Copies of this chain bind each other. A is one copy, B any other.
Amino acid sequence: MKRVHSLEAEPTHSVWDRSLEPRLRIAPGDEVLIACVDASGGQVRPGMSTTEYLGIDRTRIHALTGPIWIDGAEPGDVLQVEVFSTRHTGWGWSSVVEGLGLLKDRFREPYLFHWNLGSDSTSSLAPAIVPVRPFLGVMGVAPAEHGSFRTRPPGVFGGNMDVRELCEGSKLYLPVFNRGALFSCGDGHAAQGDGEVCINGIECPLNVTLRFRLHKQMNLDAPLVEASDSQLLDSLGDAWIVVETGTALYDAARAATGRMIDLLMSRWGLSAVHAYILCSVAMRLRLSQVVNEPVHTVTAAMSKKILPARELFPIQ
């Protein structure tokens, strides 16, 4: 029989560690209403200044809720996590932090930006209208290895994957490495572009409802997503796309993002840091070709739905 549990955010944890004591024990098939604070663990507040932001304790990031013990889960099983609902609280933030982000050498100046969030979009970065599709940047199970591991790098156990398709209606499948699986989650994003280039999506507290199921002894090497379009509104529609080619994909991604920022600045009048943040919350990054040796091509796309209409080149 399905049961519905709820789990408060506090006390959060900020490491993956198979020895952490479970905060909730559930049966397969159960739903859990999970409160997640924002990735800062509630340290960032509406109205906080950039100067105050510099003083937060970064060791508390990502401030995850969990672990949740799933009865009967054993190494070799697959944990299915179905995302039923993801509710933000109307506010979020994005930042630039020295030494982090895809363009860390271009953007060194710390900056904190606050968003007012509607149910479907936000116009805080006007003239851009950013679609809002909340998802958890971090969902994972305890790793196989003994020890405490900071949460920034994702892995085969899931974790800080920042896969934007994990919004309402989607399912995540994770390999289980420990008895009880030991699932934790957090790092709510009201929106995020591919790449999360500035280091943040729209960071926000999220109240989520997840349903857990167990598939016994099925082969799965790493996370798999069954994405639902029902809430995704994935279509790019009409779009501006910069095409960058380079010998390394990472460099091509950096160049493409840099050119998209330049375009947003020169044609839509955004400041450099606002353009960077807009890319981080709304741009798509694709590997257009990875075979035309010795170079690869990355495309960075911004939907025309997000920006006011502009003719970038004079109409003739």
What residues of chain A have their CB less than 8 Å away from a CB belonging to chain B?
A: 28-29, 78, 80, 100-102, 152-156, 158, 160-165, 173, 194-199, 213, 215, 218, 221-229, 232, 234-245, 248-250, 253, 259, 263, 284-299, 301, 312-314, 316
Contacts and interface: CB of A to CB of B under 8 A. Distances in A.
A224 B239 contact: no
A244 to B, nearest CB: 6
Contacts of A236: 227, 229, 232, 234
A286 B156 CA distance: 18
* 10 closest Cβ pairs, A-B complex: A235-B235, A162-B289, A249-B249, A225-B241, A285-B287, A223-B243, A229-B237, A227-B239, A195-B290, A153-B295
Nearest to A215: B313
Nearest to A286: B194
Number of copies: 2
B313 A80 contact: yes
Contacts of A234: 234-237
Interface of A is mostly: loop
B293 A239 contact: no
B289 A241 contact: no
Contact of A222 (B154, B158, B243, B292): B243
Given A154-B297, A243-B223, A299-B163, A291 B195 contact: yes
